[in-house]
């Protein structure tokens, strides 16, 4: 109830306030302002071109009657703006009447035929912010007092016939609410006297002379600040790079037990690095600490850097952080990884161990990863033919097969556990090179598959050979479909199987592979990939079997006289062709299929 009463009182107060605001108009308190407006309008319009100026104009309220070109305040009690452009007005300016409008802000009479001059009394329109008298017949001298009107922000008096010296206006057009004076166009119609011209020239020369004294100082100061900034930035980058490199390395507390073999004899020649390369490829720790380091990627447990030595040798440095692994175990695994020498596996150059960080150094691959190749292909920056895809698939299979064969010969078997496009690098000949071999042993010691990337992990989520086979199958599907899982996150095995069930097999392949001359090889590879991504691990082939099938395809692709489709020439549908290849490809005695 009290709320309702309060609301009623508030509304009553508002009504009374409006009545009192309108009361001056009702009582004629503003009549003098409106009379001044009528006097000004009749002066600029002696021929009564404005239809609303009749004999009874003085009895009307221009605000309530909404006269054309006249704008008032919100309560219709005071004139704020007069804008009468291009109306053929041919009178004169009555500044005395105009300036009796106490709140006039804007006056625009452009493109008329107003004559006479600009009265000096215009200076009494103290609140005037915009004055446009361009394209009229005004003449005489320009009042100097125009330059003293402190609220005047925009002035246009161009295209008139003024005489004499132009007053000096302060023009600051780059600042908010600046004073913009349009004087250029009416200079052509101005008869400037020699004295005024000399005065203008002397003032201009004086300003130029003062400017010339300041210009060298400003330029010099700007160059000094710029050079100081660049030097500071360079010093900051060098300090950051050194901090990164130093943070990667601490002197180990004991010497690793290096396993001696006939093939590779890694020797600890520095206090903190163990090398697996020839003597001429090794470097001093001082060179390493003075190199530039560029952070490329990082995760919770590892960071990847691009490091450039002073001799321009480029390395890829992986920093493993917060690993719960003993010194002996780490050195044992690193020596095993260092022993692996295969053209499709990124070789380990050196390693370092500290309780805080483990440092792995590899040769940097300038062509980037298979993911970079996919991105360039999708953006039409390069071609990606089936022959290159087949070569890359064969390289990955050879590397993985060798990886399991060599580690099976030792008591410790290493799995990859994180196969994906970004971990398949390309050498200078576009050969596939597998990176991060053996890292899962440290990043995922329990073999739970927690370090595997989404979309590549086998359903059982374990780190094993069959898990790596599943990831390889996903990569093979990416090569066939042109759909990179690492960017899209799509469940590619599920998508491809669904398309085959719906008999859309021909639409599975990427545009480059869908060509007629390459189609039959693509179906064989598709069958291999689908076997690799089987739900049950026991239904998947080993990497050795996968390599054998892919090499068969590569050999037949190079020999046009050999075709797996000789028994399937009458199959015109993609589904029929696929079933034929599936029936013929995996009927190997003793296989798991």
Q: What is the CATH number of the domain that holds 502?
A: 1.10.510.10
Residue 124 has pLDDT above 60, yes or no: yes
Number of independent structural domains in the chain: 3
Choose one of 340, 364, 388: the last residue of a domain.
364
Domain identity same for 446 and 324: no
Query: Tokens at residue 41, please?
Result: 């309008």
Q: State residue 240's pLDDT score.
A: 56
pLDDT per residue over 189-211, tens digit each? 444 333 343 444 555 555 555 66
Q: State residue 460's pLDDT score.
A: 87
Question: In a 10 Å sphere around its CB, with 0-12 CB exposed, 13-18 middle and 19+ buried, how is residue 6 labelled?
Answer: exposed
User: What's the mean pLDDT when you consider all of the chain?
Assistant: 75
Is residue 574 situated within a structural domain? Answer: no
Rounded to an integer, the average pLDDT of 569-580 is 45
Domain identity same for 397 and 514: yes
- CB neighbours of 62 closer than 8 A, spacing ≥ 6? 34, 37, 52, 70, 72, 79
Q: Residue 191 CB: number of other CB atoms within 10 A?
A: 9
67-71, 238-242, 526-530: range with highest mean pLDDT: 526-530
Q: How far apart are CA 391 and CA 127, in angstroms?
A: 81
Return the SS3 of 112: coil
Residue 592 has pLDDT above 60, yes or no: no
Q: How far apart are CA 54 and CA 52, in angstroms?
A: 6
Rounded to an integer, the average pLDDT of 463-476 is 92
Distance of CA 438 to CAs 264, 330, 393, 441, 448, Å? Answer: 18, 11, 20, 6, 15
Question: In a 10 Å sphere around its CB, with 0-12 CB exposed, 13-18 middle and 19+ buried, how is residue 561 labelled?
Answer: exposed
The end-to-end CA distance of the chain, in Å, is 86
Residue 241 pLDDT grade (very low, low, confident, very high; cuts 50, 70, 90): low
* 524 within 8 A of 530, measured Cβ to Cβ: no
Q: State residue 345's pLDDT score.
A: 94
What strand order describes the sheet that includes 130-132? 70-72, 79-83, 106-108, 130-132, 154-156, 180-182
* 334 within 8 A of 273, measured Cβ to Cβ: no
Is residue 10 situated within a structural domain? Answer: no
Domain identity same for 343 and 381: no
Choose one of 335, 364, 393: the last residue of a domain.
364
Rounded to an integer, the average pLDDT of 332-359 is 87
Is residue 218 situated within a structural domain? Answer: no
Domain identity same for 281 and 387: no
DSSP code, position 370: H
- pLDDT over 70 percentage in the chain: 68
Q: State residue 150's pLDDT score.
A: 81
Q: How far apart are CA 128 and CA 95, in angstroms?
A: 12
Return the SS3 of 402: helix
Q: Residue 292 CB: number of other CB atoms within 10 A?
A: 17
Distance of CA 138 to CAs 197, 246, 428, 472, Å? Answer: 21, 79, 79, 86
For residue 318, the domain's CATH number is 3.30.200.20
Residue 68 pLDDT grade (very low, low, confident, very high; cuts 50, 70, 90): confident
Residue 248 pLDDT grade (very low, low, confident, very high; cuts 50, 70, 90): low
Domain identity same for 339 and 420: no
Nearest to 128 by CA among 143, 150, 110: 150
Q: How far apart are CA 37 and CA 376, in angstroms?
A: 72
Return the SS3 of 247: helix
- Among 287-301, 389-403, 541-555, which stretch is predicted with the lowest mean pLDDT? 287-301
Is residue 200 situated within a structural domain? Answer: no
pLDDT per residue over 134-190, tens digit each? 999 998 888 887 877 888 888 888 899 888 766 655 444 444 444 455 554 444 444
Rounded to an integer, the average pLDDT of 424-432 is 94
Return the SS3 of 119: coil
Question: In a 10 Å sphere around its CB, with 0-12 CB exposed, 13-18 middle and 19+ buried, how is residue 493 labelled?
Answer: buried
Residue 249 pLDDT grade (very low, low, confident, very high; cuts 50, 70, 90): low
Q: How far apart are CA 129 and CA 104, in angstroms?
A: 9
Q: How far apart are CA 97 and CA 37, in angstroms?
A: 7
Domain identity same for 157 and 285: no
Q: How far apart are CA 351 and CA 275, in angstroms?
A: 7
Residue 340 has pLDDT above 90, yes or no: no
Q: Angle, nearest 10°, between helix axes 543-558 and 519-532?
A: 180
Is residue 156 situated within a structural domain? Answer: yes
Domain identity same for 431 and 283: no
Q: How far apart are CA 265 and CA 249, in angstroms?
A: 23
Q: State residue 195's pLDDT score.
A: 39
pLDDT per residue over 2-51, tens digit each? 445 554 454 444 444 443 344 344 334 456 888 888 899 999 988 888 87
Helix residue ranges per DSSP H, 380-449: 386-408, 440-443
Choose one of 163, 185, 200: the last residue of a domain.
163
Residues spanned by the domain of 52: 31-163
Question: In a 10 Å sphere around its CB, with 0-12 CB exposed, 13-18 middle and 19+ buried, how is residue 553 labelled?
Answer: buried
For residue 50, the domain's CATH number is 3.80.10.10
pLDDT per residue over 365-395, tens digit each? 999 999 999 999 989 999 898 889 999 999 9
Domain identity same for 92 and 40: yes
Domain identity same for 298 and 394: no
Domain identity same for 387 and 493: yes
Domain identity same for 437 and 330: no
Is residue 177 situated within a structural domain? Answer: no
Domain identity same for 357 and 450: no
Query: Structure pTM?
Result: 0.54
């Amino acid at each position: 109830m009290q709320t309702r009463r309060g609301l009623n009182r508030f509304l009553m107060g508002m009504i009374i306030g409006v009545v009192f605001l309108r009361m001056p108009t009702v009582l004629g308190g503003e009549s003098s302002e409106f009379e001044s407006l009528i006097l000004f309008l009749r002066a600029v319009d002696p021929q009564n071109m404005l239809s609303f100026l009749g004999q009874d104009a003085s009895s009307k309220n221009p605000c309530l009657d909404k006269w054309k070109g006249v704008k008032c305040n919100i309560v219709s009690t005071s004139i704020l703006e007069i804008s009468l452009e291009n109306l053929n007005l041919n009178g004169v300016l009555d500044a005395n009447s105009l300036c009796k409008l106490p709140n006039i802000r804007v006056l625009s009479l452009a493109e008329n035929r107003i004559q006479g001059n600009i009265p000096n009394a215009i200076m009494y329109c103290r609140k005037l912010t915009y004055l446009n008298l361009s394209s009229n017949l005004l003449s005489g001298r320009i009042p100097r007092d125009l330059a003293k009107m402190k609220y005047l922000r925009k002035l246009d008096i161009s295209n008139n016939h003024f005489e004499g010296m132009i007053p000096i206006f302060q023009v600051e057009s780059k600042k908010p609410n600046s004073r913009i004076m349009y004087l250029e166009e009416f200079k052509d119609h101005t008869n400037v006297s020699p004295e005024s011209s000399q005065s203008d020239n002397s003032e201009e020369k004086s300003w130029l002379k003062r400017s010339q004294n300041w210009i060298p100082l400003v330029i010099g100061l700007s160059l000094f600040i710029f050079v100081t900034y660049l030097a500071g930035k360079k010093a900051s980058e060098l300090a950051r790079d050194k901090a990164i490199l130093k943070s990667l390395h601490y002197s180990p507390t004991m010497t690793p037990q290096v396993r001696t073999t006939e093939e590779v004899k890694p020797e600890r020649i520095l206090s903190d690095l163990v090398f697996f390369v020839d003597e001429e490829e090794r470097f001093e720790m001082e060179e390493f600490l003075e190199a530039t380091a560029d952070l490329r990627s990082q995760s919770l447990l590892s960071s990847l850097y691009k490091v450039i030595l002073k001799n321009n040798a480029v390395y890829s440095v992986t920093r493993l952080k917060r690993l719960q692994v003993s010194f002996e175990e780490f050195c044992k695994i690193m020596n095993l990884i260092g022993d692996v020498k295969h053209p499709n596996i990124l070789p380990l150059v050196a390693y370092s161990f500290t309780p805080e960080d483990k440092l792995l150094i590899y040769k940097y691959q300038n062509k980037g990863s298979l993911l970079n190749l996919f991105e360039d292909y999708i953006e039409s920056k390069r071609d990606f033919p089936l022959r290159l895809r087949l070569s890359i698939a064969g390289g990955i299979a050879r590397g993985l097969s060798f990886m399991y064969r060599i580690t099976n010969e030792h008591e410790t078997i290493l799995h990859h556990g994180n196969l994906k496009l970004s971990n398949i690098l390309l050498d200078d000949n576009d050969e596939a090179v597998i990176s991060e071999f053996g890292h899962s042993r440290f990043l995922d010691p329990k073999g739970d598959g927690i370090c595997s990337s989404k979309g590549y992990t086998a359903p059982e989520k374990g780190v094993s050979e069959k898990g790596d086979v599943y990831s390889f199958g996903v990569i093979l599907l990416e090569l066939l479909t042109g759909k990179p899982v690492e960017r899209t996150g799509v469940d590619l095995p599920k998508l491809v199987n669904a398309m085959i069930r719906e008999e859309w097999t021909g639409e599975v392949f990427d545009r480059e592979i869908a060509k007629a001359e390459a189609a039959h090889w693509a179906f064989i590879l598709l069958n291999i990939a689908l076997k690799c991504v089987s739900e049950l691990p026991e239904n998947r082939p080993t990497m050795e079997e996968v390599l054998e099938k892919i090499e068969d395809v590569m050999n037949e692709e190079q020999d046009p006289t050999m075709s797996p489709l000789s028994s399937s020439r009458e199959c015109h549908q993609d589904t029929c062709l696929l079933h034929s290849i599936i029936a013929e490809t995996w009927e190997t005695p003793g296989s798991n299929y």
